[in-house]
Amino acid sequence: MGMTLPPYGYHSGAASMKITEVEPLVVATRSGTYLLVVVHTDEGLHGLGEVGMRSRPRAVLGALADFAELATGTQAHRIEELSQLFLRGGFFPAVGDVAAAAAAIDLALWDLRGKALGVPVHELLGGAVRDHVPAYVHLPGHSLPEYLDHAHGLVERGWRHLRIGLQPPTDPVLEPRATLRANVEAFHGLREALGDDVELLVDVHTRLDPAEATVFCREIEPARPYFVEDPLRSESMDAYRMLRARTGVPLAAGEQLTTAWEFRPLLEGDLVDHARIDLANTGLTQGRKIAAIAEAHHIQVTTHNPLGPVCTAASAHFNLTLPNLGVQEQTHPHGWDDDPLVVAGAIVDGGSVRPSGLPGFGVDLDLEAARRAATGELGPPPRYRRPDGSLTNW
């Protein structure tokens, strides 16, 4: 028809760019040790991803090597197709640690896509619906005085969402009655000391049995928790139906799940109020789908992120765009400003997180220094036992 298309500025190189290498990097930063993934391309651009499940690092590294074989030589922009290939290309479904390895590569591909096109990732997701992402911080410690030591300063600096973890007062022995009493008391103590202008959250960390979890939820309900996280183990999500019937506290779960198929019963059953999507376990391709199912159920997405600079930045982009955002977990209230390994990253400040404004996730590492700081080691998890010596959930 003789019509000339306007110059859209589409960088054709972005379409042909091929993946050349998937490099895992266990990096010790000032705030902790993280399992990162660098996806390299034939155009010299690299994308960054992160793995959230680190309990079995060698299983994850093995899965990364398997996926690297599938990814190497393919076009980096075919993100959806690669996601399908990773999760459904092996006959046996990819779940858990294996899916978390796929998630890290998926994140790196979104980062690469943004970098190749010169836009921040949230622009690829439909654009921001908010100016910044509200965040919660985790209070370290085991008792009310320790929590308050940290809480007052954080509230002064603008943090409005504070979380504690359910801790046994007799660490490493977890006696359920004593643990219940101490934590119910600490939760009420926090509410009394901090007043009604802050939101209080608690992570039970699957440490209780259903009957104990019920008592815990009912007894802290008058102190109006923002949510009670992981009150039950995740292997049988149906158990949440029972807990729901017995308590009115908002419930949160999902950090142990990876794909939309795993999240489906939790969301379709309206079993929680907050879906704890961890992008470093789901990837962004699955994460968006999970968030959309949650939206259809009026369930909020409260992203899990006790992780490093990559998951923090990825979460900030995702959360900027979600209509149904709760609040972003931000375990490190200072970000990585003072960390020489992190040359650019999300801005963490006074109860909120913002992406840096650079293309992709807007996060970058001094890769040479990160390789020199690579440890290959992730610390062992803490483990609790009941007084009779039997293992409890950590």
Ligand X SMILES: O=C(O)[C@@H](O)[C@H](O)[C@H](O)CO
Q: Which residue is nearest to ligand X (CB)?
A: 306
Query: 235 in helix, strand or coil?
Result: coil
Residue 329 beta carbon to ligand X: minimum distance, rounded to whole angstroms: 6
**Does 203 interact with Mg ion (rule: CB under 5 A)?**
yes
The DSSP code for 386 is -
Q: How far is the CB of 144 from Mg ion (least distance, A)?
A: 20
285-344 binders of ligand X (CB under 6 A): 304, 306, 329
Work out whether 255 is an interface residue with ligand X (CB under 6 A).
yes
Q: How many residues bind Mg ion (CB under 5 A)?
A: 1
Query: Which one of Mg ion, ligand X, none is in contact with 339 (Cβ closer than 5 to 8 A by kind)?
Result: none
338 contact partners, CB below 8 Å, separation of at least 6? 30
Output 372 or 383, the one with its CB closest to Mg ion.
383
Reduced to 3 states (helix: H, G, I; strand: E, B; else coil), residue 146 is helix
Whether 23 and 65 have beta carbons less than 8 Å apart is answered as no
Q: How far apart are CA 389 and CA 381, in angstroms?
A: 18
Question: Does residue 97 interact with ligand X by CB under 6 A?
Answer: no
191 binds, among Mg ion, ligand X, none (CB under 5 to 8 A by kind): none
Residue type, 280: A
Query: How far does Cα 289 stand from its chain's mean position?
Result: 15
Closest CB to ligand X among residues 41, 281: 281
Q: Which does 306 bind (CB under 5 to 8 A by kind): ligand X, Mg ion, none?
A: ligand X
Minimum CB separation of residue 136 from ligand X in Å reads 10
Residue 19 vs 348, nearer CB to ligand X = 348
Interface with ligand X (CB under 6 A), residue total: 6
Q: How far is the CB of 165 from Mg ion (least distance, A)?
A: 8
- Whole-number Cα distances in Å, 343 to 39, 133, 267, 346: 18, 21, 38, 11
Name every residue whose Cβ is closer than 8 Å to that of residue 31 and which is 6 or more positions away in sequence.
308, 332, 336, 339
Looking at residues 152 to 181 of the shown chain, list those that interact with ligand X (rule: CB under 6 A): none
Name the residue nearer to ligand X (CB basis): 39 or 299. 299
Question: Which residue lies nearer to Mg ion by CB, 53 or 341?
Answer: 53
How far the first Cα of the chain sits from its last, in Å, is: 67
Shortest distance (Å) from residue 250 CB to Mg ion: 15
Q: What angle do CA 197, 199, 205 make, to 5 degrees?
A: 160
Taking the complex as a whole, the smallest distance from the CB of residue 183 to Mg ion amounts, in Å, to 15
DSSP reduced 3-state for 238:
coil
Q: How far apart are CA 286 and CA 282, in angstroms?
A: 6
> Distance between CA atoms of 56 and 332, rounded to whole angstroms?
23
In angstroms, what is the minimal distance from the CB of 304 to Mg ion? 6
Q: Which is nearer to Mg ion, 175 or 203 (CB)?
A: 203
Tell me how far, at minimum, the Cβ of 384 lies from Mg ion, in Å.
Answer: 15
- Closest C-alpha to 110, from 156, 49, 169, 61: 49
| Dihedral pair phi/psi, residue 123, rounded to 5° | -70, -25
Comparing every residue's Cβ against Mg ion, the nearest one is 203
Please report, as ranges, the residues that interact with ligand X according to CB under 6 A.
Answer: 203, 205, 255, 304, 306, 329
